[in-house]
Copies of this chain bind each other. A is one copy, B any other.
Amino acid sequence: MYSVEELQRIVNEEIVKRASELKKRDPAELYAPVNYSLEMGGKRLRPVLLLLGYNLFSDELKNALPASVAIEVFHNFTLLHDDIMDHARVRRNQPTVHIQFSENNAILSGDVMAFLSYQYLMECKSENLLNVVQLFTQTAIEVCEGQQLDMDFEERMNVSAADYLQMIRLKTAVLLACGLKAGALLGNASEEVASHLYDFGLNLGMAFQLQDDLLDTFGDQQTFGKQIGGDILANKKTYLLIKALENASAVQRKKLVLWMDKTGYDAKTKIEAVTAIYNELRIKETTAAKIDSYFQSSEKYLQSLPVDEMKKANLKNLSAKMLKRNH
C-alpha cells in the first residue's frame, strides 16, 4: 500500500521523466509544447486516482504507471485545445500553450499528446488491456461531448440544472471515473468491481466540480487560487446561476438578467450584487446539499466495494481532501 503523497511523488517523477524524453524527440517544435505542458505541474489528480484504483488490487505499481502517465497526458491534451477554444491566456500562473508558442502549436502538439496517451497506455501488460483502451476511448469521446456542451451553453439562456449536470458529468466526472476503473482493470479486478469503482469516481467527480463552482463564488480568496467571482463576471451558467434563475422571484430574475446584460460595470459591484441575490435564494446551501448528495453516493459505492477497509482509506482520504480543497 502506498500513501497518496507517495503516489503523487511517484507519478510526478514518471511524468517529468517522460516529458524530458519527449523534449529530445524531433521535430523539436512539436514536442517542446508537450514538454512545457507536462512540466507545468498540477495536482496529478487523475493519475493518482488511477494508481489508487490499481493499488486496491495490486502492489506492482510499475505495471500501471504508464497508464497513469497516459491519463495525465490525455488530460493535458484537452487543456491545450480547450484553452484555444476558450481564449484562455493563463493556466497555473503561466501562459497557455497557444500564447507561449502559437495556436498551430497548441493544435498539433495537442493532437500528438492524444496519440501519445494511447502509446503510453498500451505499454501496460494486462489481459484487460483491450477493455481499458475501449474505456479510455469511450471516455475521450464523452469529454469532447462535454466540452461542446460547455461551449453551447454560453450561447443558450435555457440551460436547465439537468443539462448542466450532464455537461459536467461528461466534461469532468467521466475522466476521474475512467482513471479509477482503468486502474482496477489493470489490477485484474472483475468488470463488476471495476464498474463499482467507476460509479464511485463519477459521483466524486460531480461533487468535485460542483465544489469548484461553489468556491468560485463563496470560496476564500487565500486558499482558492483563482479570482473569486470569475464565474459571475463571465456570466457562466454554473449550477449556482441556473438554480438562482430557477428559484428567483420575478423581481430577482429581472435583477439577475440586468446584471448579465450589463456592460461597463464595476467588477466588485457586480460580484456583490449577484452574490447578494444568491444569498437571498440560499444558493450556497442548495449547492452544498447537492454536493453532499453526490458525496454520499460516492461513499456508498466505496463502502460496498468488496475490498479491505484498510485499502479504502486512501480513497476516502483523497476524496475528503478533494472536496475540502486543502490541496
Contacts and interface: CB of A to CB of B under 8 A. Distances in A.
A272 interface: no
B145 A112 contact: yes
A148 B27 contact: yes
Interface in A99-157: 104, 107-108, 111-112, 114-116, 118-119, 122, 129-130, 133-134, 137-138, 140-141, 144-145, 147-149, 151-152
A6 interface: no
Given A27-B149, A122-B137, A130-B122, A85 B112 contact: no
A138 B120 CA distance: 11
Interface residues of A, number: 33
Contacts of A144: 30, 108, 111-112, 115
A166 to B, nearest CB: 10
Interface string A22-34: 0000110110000
Contacts of A152: 27, 29
Contacts of A122: 130, 133-134, 137
Interface in A74-118: 81, 84-85, 104, 107-108, 111-112, 114-116, 118
Contact of A137 (B26, B29, B115, B130): B115
Nearest to A167: B27
A80 to B, nearest CB: 10
Contacts of A129: 130
A222 to B, nearest CB: 35
Number of chain copies forming the complex: 2
A119 B104 contact: no
Contacts of A114: 111, 114-115
Nearest to A112: B144
A254 to B, nearest CB: 30
Nearest to A80: B107
Nearest to A134: B122
Interface in A18-46: 26-27, 29-30
B111 A81 contact: yes
B81 A107 contact: yes
A148 B29 contact: yes
8 contacts: A27-B149, A29-B151, A84-B104, A85-B107, A108-B147, A111-B114, A119-B141, A122-B137
Given A27-B148, A29-B151, A118-B118, 12 more contacts: A27-B152, A30-B144, A81-B108, A84-B104, A85-B108, A111-B111, A112-B145, A115-B137, A115-B144, A119-B141, A130-B130, A133-B133
